[in-house]
Amino acid sequence: MKNRTMRFSIVTVALFAVLSCSIWGGDVLGSGSPAPTSPASQPPSAPPAAAPTGSIVVDNANPGFSIQSGDWGTCPRGQCSGVAYNTDFRYADPSCANCRARFDLSIANAGSYELFIWWPHGDDRATDTPFTIQYSGGTIDLKVDQRNSGDDWFWLHTLNVKSGETVSIFVGGAKTGFANADAVALFPTGTAPSAAQPAQPPAAQPTGKPAQPTQVSAPQATKPAPAQPTIAPAAGKPTAIRRVIFLHHSTGQGLIDQGGLRQRLTALGYEFFDHGYNDAGLTLANGQSANMNFDIPDDNTDPDGFNILFAQPVTSPSSNAFSHLMQYDVLAFKSCFPSANIESNQQLEEYKTYYRNIRAVMDKYPNKIFIVVTPPPNTPAETNSQNAARARAWANWLKSPEYLSGHPNVFTFDFFNLLAESNQSARDYNMLRAAYRLGDAHDSHPNERANREIAPQFADFIAQAIKSYAK
């Protein structure tokens, strides 16, 4: 390892870089590697910014940190590559297979917390640093690629913890590079972490290619083995409803970015999370990327994809996409406009079958609220009157008593009807109305006007659904 400007890749698993070994431009102490590089270009040491009220932070210099085994080096901030959370950080040499460090976070107030970790950026970090979370909810093992990120807080997992318990985070050594142990934090869900100082711009990659987006592998529970325990559905209505997640692709992103969906739901008192394409992944309630995804099967949000998604068992710890989604109180989900180009009556009946299957799963979880969002219509250039009529029929069926009656925790937001031309004598009846189109006749994404007009209605619909079901 000649140059240790290790740059942490985004947590292969979100168990953040808390423990990744941030190696400097020089060798690891005691490893026989070269000496640390000059700190001339590094920022001076500075105390971290104040954490949100109710947060729990343990730095490697705090009593809650300990070395369990192996030879861990220490690098003062400013003498190695990257930015340490506080005055220094710890690192494990790639040859130290038995290296193990531990962070213990004591919980005073029970509740939902987001687990974050901090580590310094560098190009020789490990790509598979092992992390383990131990708490009252179980044991979760993760592999973290720490080579493409760092110098900031990164989300790892949502934990529901009990008052008086201790959450322990373990990090181990890895052969693929240096593993760092710097700081770990639990922030109350819905609050934003504060960086010690602005993150440094990413260093150039050795290959000259841009840094890759964080990829988070699905956490694997080690206890009990070998299979994940399946959680029995809870009975009864929810007692407190705060956390909403929206599973979507591009048209949903327009409602968020241009329509202010997150801001409106936040103003209404809810925590709004969303999950787009897998390469974008999860966005937290504060609008920051979680740098991980739920691995939606084949990235498919068409009806057949949702049929597969909802068939996944709910396990603890979460071992699949549906298990992750079921950590939230409200799940809103939608297909995109390609699924509104229904080419035959047979295809329409297949869609209905898929959604009957999905409804059967939703019925098993009366403590969750599900919001079905009808897909947006296509432009005239991307469909025809017959296909568009079937799309209207499907949207009408999804909001009909036939689908909703007797299923009190299921609601349908008719996105299609708000976007589609409603004049039956118009040539573009049931297609994306002219006022909501972009300039490209073949692009069926709704324009900014549509998003600004519809997003507030969607937010209010979600809030009303929550209030009506919680009565």
What's residue 151's pLDDT? 75
Given 154, 189, 223, which residue is the final one in a domain?
Answer: 223
- pLDDT by residue (tens digit) across 166-216? 999 999 998 988 999 999 999 887 665 654 333 332 222 233 333 222 223
Mean pLDDT of 28-48: 32
Residues 128 and 29 in one domain: yes
Higher pLDDT, 112 or 26: 112
Residues 256 and 196 in one domain: no
Least confident stretch, 4-13, 198-207, 240-249, 304-313: 198-207
Higher pLDDT, 162 or 241: 162
Residues 258 and 155 in one domain: no
**The domain spanning residue 120 has which CATH number?**
2.60.120.260
129 pLDDT band (50/70/90 cuts)?
confident
Residues 148 and 267 in one domain: no
Instruction: Provide the token pair at 57.
Output: 């932070």
CB atoms within 10 A of CB 361: 18
In a domain, residue 279? The reply is yes
Q: Is the pLDDT of residue 303 over 50?
A: yes
Higher pLDDT, 140 or 408: 408
Residues 37 and 147 in one domain: yes
Least confident stretch, 6-20, 83-97, 311-325: 6-20
Residues 171 and 257 in one domain: no
49 pLDDT band (50/70/90 cuts)?
low
Phi, psi of 443 (to 5 degrees): -105, 110
Residues 313 and 424 in one domain: yes
Residues 404 and 261 in one domain: yes
Please give the tally of structural domains in the chain: 2
What's residue 282's pLDDT? 95
- pLDDT by residue (tens digit) across 9-20? 333 333 333 333
**The domain spanning residue 418 has which CATH number?**
3.40.50.1110
What's residue 231's pLDDT? 56
What's residue 54's pLDDT? 82
Question: Percentage of the chain surpassing pLDDT 70?
Answer: 77
Q: Is the pLDDT of residue 152 over 90?
A: no
In a domain, residue 229? The reply is no
Beta bridge partners of 272: 244
Strands 166-172 and 100-106: antiparallel
Domain that holds residue 144: 17-206+216-223
Least confident stretch, 48-57, 197-206, 433-442: 197-206
In a domain, residue 235? The reply is no
Given 158, 190, 223, which residue is the final one in a domain?
Answer: 223
Residues 302 and 423 in one domain: yes
In a domain, residue 120? The reply is yes
Residues 150 and 251 in one domain: no
Q: Is the pLDDT of residue 217 over 80?
A: no
In a domain, residue 232? The reply is no
CA distance 146 to 144: 6
In a domain, residue 211? The reply is no
CA gyration radius, the chain:
24
237 pLDDT band (50/70/90 cuts)?
low
Residues 146 and 267 in one domain: no
What's residue 455's pLDDT? 93
In a domain, residue 280? The reply is yes
Mean pLDDT of 383-396: 95
What's residue 189's pLDDT? 78
- For the chain, what is the mean pLDDT? 80
Given 161, 194, 223, which residue is the final one in a domain?
Answer: 223
Q: Is the bond into 226 cis (omega within 30 degrees of 0)?
A: yes
Residues 43 and 150 in one domain: yes
**Contact, 336 vs 251, CB < 8 A?**
yes
Instruction: Provide the token pair at 249.
Output: 């692709």
Q: Is the pLDDT of residue 227 over 60?
A: no
